[in-house]
A and B are shown apart, each in its own frame.
Chain A
Amino acid sequence: MPRYGMVIDLDRCMGCRACMEACKVENNTPEGAFWMHVFRFEEGEYPDTKVGFLPRPCQHCDNAPCVKVCPVQARHMQEDGVVLTDFKRCIGCRYCIIACPYGVNHFNWQPPEDAYYLDWDDADVEKVTGGAVPPYLNPDLGKPHGDRGTLVAGGGHYEGVTEKCTFCVQRLEKGLLPACAANCPVSVFSFGDLDDPESAPSQALRSKQAFRLKEELNTEPKVYYIGQPPPASDVRPIEIVSSTGGE
């Protein structure tokens, strides 16, 4: 059984946020919800300042605090190491949001029909998009996936439950890469089996010094960063992250 993980090369990232867009299209996340978020920040003192980028998907921790605190085991880790939410079980207590040190969770604050950008069933939806981008409702999301064979892929984005990055579980089952990794124009993301020494992430980890976010908390994230040192504690955010996790 593989142990899926991701290595993110910060040397390569140019902050284009194609990964955020790919995630949104693949997972049909509602307005304000970003399962993948690329933070843009400034560090250093003038004139020696520089802009940094840090893509942040769910860290899929081996010792995941969200899994420990979930009172109903809706948040669970699969055998392949992917941390998922069982949307038919989540009671919406938001303890996982509180417990996550990385702020990756999104609570569906309103009914999905109010939160989606488009009404998928509207006959005029193509007119709204000008026909340039055909409206796309991913049919895989509403199907059962994962070890439990239940709704874990975000289909419907049910109101009153918490959701987050799934490493695109619906794509993994087809042998595809997560949407962010598949669509990055400069190959920032290396995704694969961390236990396989020949996998892309294992090779990437051998190539450069790596760090993980908040390692001192012993959450054992399966997302590694290479190419840059960890952001200092006094970096300045360039954009204000809105209350719902977007901008």
Chain B
Amino acid sequence: MVTRVASRKPFAAYGFRIWIGLLALLVAQGLAGFARQQISGHHVTGLTDTTPWGLYIIGFVFFVGASAGSTIIGLMVHAFGRKDYERLATRAILVGFLSLAAAVTFIAADVGRTERMFLLPWYWHNPTSMFFYTSITYYMFAAILLAELYYTVRLTRGSTDARDRSMAKWLAILAVPFALGVVHAPHGALFAVVKARGFWNNPLLPPHFAVVALVSGTALMVLVTVATSWLKKSDLVGKSTLAHMGALLAFFIALAGFFDFFDWLVFAYSDKAEGVIAWDILFGSNVMLSVVHVAGYFAAFVFLLYVLMRRREWLVPALAAASVVTLVAVAAYRYNLVTVGQAVPLLPFIPRSHYSPSWTEISIAVAIVALIALSYSILTRLLPMEDAPPRSEERAVASGGLAPAGGTS
């Protein structure tokens, strides 16, 4: 039997209205900041000719990564037969789509001529520009996610049409390689192809970006799952599914740490001025961000392993804490990546530049995140999110999925 989650009065709860009101206020203050930026120009930001990319670009790459990484849930359901993830499918697609929307909104805030931005790639184009290429991928990825959302919602609403199931399956399977290989890795290339910036000009940056996308996307979905279960006061998925998500997150963190370690090892041995200066910045003015990045990954990884192997009773709070710490660490990584690449002087007689985001930038960035949270909060009330209570672990295993990581629901 299919359960329609959306009630007849989806916005009736008092707490929900306060939450929406708070988000609306944050969006409104950001709109005021955006209006100020449009009227007075980008000089109200902390950006300069020596550091032309800042918080908006950091937000952009963070959310593109989260968007790509969240598609992993669809892969679990349809490619690996993990039916226990099915209740997260619609939510994951929505998180992916809204993260992509957040990324594009950050770009809209960043460019000097927002009104011209949407002529790209339809009217104006340059095939040698990575920016042109990535702009095409947003539309394609958004189309895939919307189509996937359409078919998944139909299935959630009780459709038994084989075509709906087949389309949802193949779109979910297509979404992962597309998100990582066609959308997110090229965002790494956006930086990696810039030969003027030695800190970025590295062929490993695109795959590194793809791995960090998996980290942030999985962490975001873990956080969404735990938070939703807590708010609904009922488990969205079973404990073993949560444990499996935790194990996945730990694996992706280890993979990202592997890339970080060898990146930094090469920098430590670099005798080139650019390498020495970049190292000096990473462990000088940006040391707090470097510590948050490395210690965040390390703490989340060790904590997850400890809880998964020894303390299953801590699983839910541990996952919540690890996912938050991981997201903060990824944000620190993105911040360092974008700013250190620009802080290294282009010519020896130019001093190092320093960037601090202005309050206008911060207010607009907060508003974009609030807008996405607002959209998510409303859409999850309007769209059917789950089709049944958590399925038993036995059924997941019997359906040919991966063995659960352990525990019971």
CB distance from A106 to the nearest CB of B (A): 6
Name the CB-closest residue of A to B49. A245
What 1/0 mask marks residues of chain B from 351 to 380 whose CB sits below 8 Å from any chain A CB?
101000000000000000000000000000
| Complex Cα–Cα for A106 and B50 (A) | 9
Whether A97 contacts B49 in the complex (CB less than 8 A), given A71-B135, A73-B126, comes out as yes
Contact: B196 with A92, CB < 8 Å?
no
Interface segment among B111-119, B139-147, B311-319: the answer is: B111-119
Contact: B112 with A94, CB < 8 Å?
yes
| Complex Cα–Cα for A241 and B348 (A) | 12
Of the candidates B53, B113, B129, the one whose C-beta lies within 8 Å of that of A71 is: B129
Contact: B194 with A65, CB < 8 Å?
yes
CB distance from B275 to the nearest CB of A (A): 12
Residues of B within 8 A of A235 (CB): 348-349
Contact: A89 with B124, CB < 8 Å?
yes
| Complex Cα–Cα for A236 and B352 (A) | 12
Contact: B124 with A92, CB < 8 Å?
no
Name the CB-closest residue of B to A68. B128
> Most chain-B CB neighbours within 10 Å: which of A73, A109, A110, A237?
A109
Interface segment among A192-200, A201-209, A226-234: the answer is: A226-234
Contact: B349 with A237, CB < 8 Å?
yes
CB distance from B48 to the nearest CB of A (A): 4
- In the complex, whether B41 has a CB less than 8 A from a CB of chain A is yes
- In the complex, whether A159 has a CB less than 8 A from a CB of chain B is yes
Residues of B within 8 A of A237 (CB): 349-351
CB distance from A157 to the nearest CB of B (A): 11
Residues of B within 8 A of A232 (CB): 348
Contact: A108 with B41, CB < 8 Å?
yes
- In the complex, whether B120 has a CB less than 8 A from a CB of chain A is yes
Contact: B131 with A93, CB < 8 Å?
yes
What 1/0 mask marks residues of chain A from 29 to 42 whose CB sits below 8 Å from any chain B CB?
00000000001110
- In the complex, whether B273 has a CB less than 8 A from a CB of chain A is yes
| Complex Cα–Cα for A83 and B349 (A) | 24
Residues of B within 8 A of A103 (CB): 49-50, 346-347, 350
- In the complex, whether A70 has a CB less than 8 A from a CB of chain B is yes
Contact: A95 with B196, CB < 8 Å?
no
Name the CB-closest residue of B to A245. B49
- In the complex, whether B52 has a CB less than 8 A from a CB of chain A is yes
What 1/0 mask marks residues of chain A from 82 to 99 whose CB sits below 8 Å from any chain B CB?
000000011111110111
Name the CB-closest residue of A to B40. A110
Contact: A217 with B349, CB < 8 Å?
no
- In the complex, whether A161 has a CB less than 8 A from a CB of chain B is yes
Count residues of B near A (Cβ-Cβ below 8 Å). Answer: 44
| Complex Cα–Cα for A97 and B196 (A) | 10
Residues 131-154 (chain B) with a chain A CB within 8 angstroms: 131-132, 135
Contact: A107 with B353, CB < 8 Å?
no
- In the complex, whether A102 has a CB less than 8 A from a CB of chain B is yes
Residues of B within 8 A of A114 (CB): 40-41
Contact: A69 with B42, CB < 8 Å?
no
Whether A71 contacts B52 in the complex (CB less than 8 A), given A94-B112, A109-B42, A241-B351, comes out as no
- In the complex, whether A15 has a CB less than 8 A from a CB of chain B is no
| Complex Cα–Cα for A91 and B107 (A) | 11
> Most chain-B CB neighbours within 10 Å: which of A40, A93, A231, A235?
A93
CB distance from B205 to the nearest CB of A (A): 14
Contact: B113 with A161, CB < 8 Å?
yes
What 1/0 mask marks residues of chain B from 50 to 64 whose CB sits below 8 Å from any chain A CB?
111100000000000
- In the complex, whether A129 has a CB less than 8 A from a CB of chain B is no
Contact: A69 with B43, CB < 8 Å?
no
Contact: A102 with B346, CB < 8 Å?
yes
- In the complex, whether B197 has a CB less than 8 A from a CB of chain A is yes
Residues of A within 8 A of B386 (CB): none
| Complex Cα–Cα for A217 and B126 (A) | 22
- In the complex, whether A240 has a CB less than 8 A from a CB of chain B is yes
Contact: A109 with B43, CB < 8 Å?
yes
- In the complex, whether B8 has a CB less than 8 A from a CB of chain A is no
- In the complex, whether B337 has a CB less than 8 A from a CB of chain A is no
Of the candidates A68, A92, A100, A102, the one whose C-beta lies within 8 Å of that of B113 is: A92
Contact: B110 with A93, CB < 8 Å?
yes
| Complex Cα–Cα for A213 and B117 (A) | 33
| Complex Cα–Cα for A109 and B194 (A) | 23
What are 13 A-B pairs with beta-carbon distances under 8 A? A70-B126, A71-B120, A71-B124, A71-B135, A90-B116, A97-B52, A99-B196, A101-B196, A103-B49, A103-B50, A114-B40, A160-B111, A237-B351
Top 5 closest A-B pairs, CB basis? A92-B112, A160-B112, A243-B48, A110-B41, A101-B196
Known contacts A69-B129, A231-B348; 6 additional CB pairs below 8 A are A41-B349, A93-B112, A103-B346, A109-B41, A114-B40, A245-B49
